[in-house]
Amino acid sequence: MEPKPIDWEKLASIIETHRTRKWNLIPLLQEVQETFGYIPPESMEPIAEALNMSPAEVQGVVTFYAGFSLKPKGKCVLKVCRGTACHVKGSRSILRFVQNELGLQEGETSEDYQFTLETVACLGACFLAPTMMVNKNYFGRLNPTKVSSVLNQYGKSKEDDGSP
């Protein structure tokens, strides 16, 4: 399946609100990322032009910050914590379970753009270890049953269980 096509009108209106102010680059990129789920590479040129910068400068900022992505992500971005506290409480088996359930490795997005799987160093909720986030929601004290129900809640259909 193809990622959702870019809504050029929406992009243009985001750019317009930040036009000509170089220091607006980060907030502009954040808004584009929030709206589209990533920074479409095609948006780099119009953004650079609006802020009187070169596309290379914009690209430099996008690639510098880990929070920006140049690739479309799934509707649900899963971040499984692999920090020390979570590691001690079994985060490795949680990650393996999620990988098996979704058929994804770290950094991959499902073909239907429903899920993207990522790992992070610490979600700042160590007392809930092992933890993961789906979009902006935290889930803690995870075990396979709990992970399964979270995935179902976010639209993993029963047929997606990897069986032929």
Instruction: Tell me which residues touch ligand FES (CB under 6 A).
Output: 81, 83-86, 122-126, 129, 131
Residue sitting closest to ligand FES (CB) = 83
Q: Which is nearer to ligand FES, 28 or 80 (CB)?
A: 80
Q: Which is nearer to ligand FES, 40 or 83 (CB)?
A: 83
- Distance, in Å, from the CA atom of 120 to the CA atom of 145, rounded to the nearest integer, reads 22
Q: Which is nearer to ligand FES, 91 or 110 (CB)?
A: 91
Closest separation in Å from C-beta 85 to ligand FES:
4
- Distance, in Å, from the CA atom of 107 to the CA atom of 116, rounded to the nearest integer, reads 7
Dihedral of CA 26/108/117/110: which sign? positive
Closest separation in Å from C-beta 84 to ligand FES:
6
**Which residue from 82, 145, 85 is spatially nearest to 118, judged by alpha carbons?**
82
Closest separation in Å from C-beta 131 to ligand FES:
5
Closest separation in Å from C-beta 82 to ligand FES:
7
Q: Which is nearer to ligand FES, 60 or 124 (CB)?
A: 124
